[in-house]
Amino acid sequence: MERIILCMPHLSGKEIDFVKEAFADNWVVPLGPNVDGFEKDLEKFVNSEKSLNPEIHTESELCPPKSVVALSAGTAAVHLALVACGVGPGDEVIVQSFTFCASAHPVSYLGAIPVFVDSEEETWNMDPLLLEKAIEDRILQTGKKPKAIIPVALYGMPYKIEEIMEVARKYNIPVIEDAAEGFGSRYKGRVLGTFGKYGVLSFNGNKMITTSGGGALICGSLKEKKEILFYATQAREGYPYYQHEKIGYNYRMSNICAGIGRGQMTILNEHIAHHKMVQQLYCELLRDVEGITMHISPGIDYDSNFWLCTALLNPDLKIKGQDRVYLSPVKEAVGGAAGLINPAGTTHTDCEPDPNVEALRVALDKANIESRPLWKPMHVQPVYKNNPAYVNGVSVDLFRKGICLPAGPFVGKDEVKYIVETIKSSIC
């Protein structure tokens, strides 16, 4: 069996036709028919019938259709949403601590300060109660409101969006939904990224769909889309020469990448259904394995795309070889970044996954299966050690106990069975 990767890109076959068209028509630039076409496809998807649930009161009310801007990365989408929210040096932005760094780093790019908020146990995402506590305390400490709130659909699981929006409305703070991992996840039938003022999507190589690299920002209106486009293309003023009155960025998606995206949109629903099937199968096959618990949706309202399937290991569960982990620094890094990382100088950090989790990762790796610890929360990252953080222990506890299992389009029933068998045979 070939190595099983966490989430491997999978092409429909139509991508190449759109890319060829771009070459044939000499649209090899960061704009063009594929960019327009891809944005239309995305708009159709996020505005789809099923996603408009009139029961849910949202910041932009039911005034969709939403507009979508295709960008060079999900990180760029976070960055531009913050710019459009007026975030600048010294401002504070509330960010879910349990996330990938790209939710927080753009706040730092702007000279602003990420303020981290911990998770609740049901969805593993931003705890709405702690969010309100954090806002109150920031106002008390600094005399100023945070400029934005960034909840994250970690591994695809929807956040408690109604509760979060209620707090956001109470304090009149815009919400930027980071749905980079949750493309196609829904809350009460409505697509994530359409509840807040802005919604972030990612099409990096390992996400639900790929454009090789890319992202998008869901905006509330055409007017907001135009503002984002302005900042995404170096903020050019309307003169016959380059005239700049604002700082802009070069963040537009290339017409070649957008061609890949148009091909990928034809199989998006298939991908989502596949990830859900894989999650279901893991749950079935691991049901009777004591000490391992799959993370499941807390209720029918929370319709996760299960971008990655995740499990928690009970600290009492003994995995073969767990006394011999963390003995030497790892050579490779997570995320296929071998050769790009700073080599680790130590074998341990002061916050790391439990020995049984690391032993399971090593056992799976030996069986040619890629797995990964859960994302290390931002408030325990050395780079953010001095940032304000409102914590309850949930995300660190999950980080210590959790593991991500493969779920992509190349993980079929046989692969899931093989992964589960490998897990079972690595238990003492």
Ligand X SMILES: *Cc1c(COP(=O)(O)O)cnc(C)c1O
Question: Is residue 185 a contact residue for ligand X (CB under 6 A)?
Answer: no
Which 8-state DSSP code applies to residue 150? E
If one asks whether residue 99 binds ligand X (CB under 6 A), the answer comes out as yes
Q: Which of 70, 80, 180, 308 binds ligand X (CB under 6 A)?
A: 180
Q: Which of 8, 73, 148, 168 binds ligand X (CB under 6 A)?
A: 73
Least distance to ligand X from the beta carbon of 397, Å? 20
Per CB under 6 A, 407 contacts ligand X? no
- Binding status of residue 102 toward ligand X by CB under 6 A: yes
Of these, 27, 100, 159, 399, which contacts ligand X (CB under 6 A)?
100
User: Between the CA atoms of 10, 13, 19 and 23, what dihedral angle is there, to the nearest 10 degrees?
Assistant: 140
Nearest Cα to Cα of residue 177 among 203, 154, 202, 149: 149
Choice from 103, 279, 297, 304 touching ligand X (CB under 6 A)? 103
Q: Is 152 in the site for ligand X (CB under 6 A)?
A: yes
Closest contact distance (angstroms) between CB of 126 and ligand X is: 12
β-pair partners for 201: 216
DSSP state of 256: H
| Cα separation, 202 vs 25, whole angstroms | 27
Q: How far is the CB of 106 from ligand X (least distance, A)?
A: 9
Cβ 75 to ligand X shortest distance, Å: 3
Q: Judging by DSSP bridges, how do beta strands 309-313 and 190-191 pair with one another? A: unpaired
Rounded to the nearest angstrom, the gap between the alpha carbon of residue 407 and the centroid of all alpha carbons in its chain is 15
Report the nearest approach of ligand X to the CB of residue 77 (Å): 8
Q: Of the two residues 127 and 181, which places its CB atom closer to ligand X in the complex?
A: 181
Six token digits for residue 350: 């002061």
**Count of residues binding ligand X (CB under 6 A)?**
14
Q: Name 299's Cβ contacts closer than 8 Å, sequence gap at least 6.
A: none
One character per residue 214-253, x = contact with ligand X (rule: CB under 6 A): -x--------------------------------------
Point out which span in 173-181, 231-239, 248-256, 345-353 binds ligand X (CB under 6 A): 173-181
16 vs 139, 179, 316, 395, CA distance in Å?
52, 27, 50, 41
What's the closest the beta carbon of residue 213 comes to ligand X, in angstroms? 6
CB count, 10 Å around CB of 291?
14
Residue 74 makes contact with ligand X by CB under 6 A: yes
Do 71 and 204 form a contact (C-beta atoms < 8 A)?
no
In sequence order, what DSSP letters do the residues of 364-405 get, joined into one string? HHHTTB--EEPPPPGGGSGGGTTS-EE--SHHHHHHHHEEEE
For residue 178, state whether it binds ligand X (rule: CB under 6 A). yes
Q: Would you count residue 127 as binding ligand X (CB under 6 A)?
A: no
Interaction of residue 204 with ligand X, rule CB under 6 A = yes
State residue 417 phi and psi, 5-degree precision. -60, -40
| Angle, helix 161-171 to helix 128-142, in steps of 10 degrees | 20
Check residue 202 for interaction with ligand X (CB under 6 A): yes
Residues near ligand X, by CB under 6 A: 73-75, 99-100, 102-103, 152, 178, 180-181, 202, 204, 215
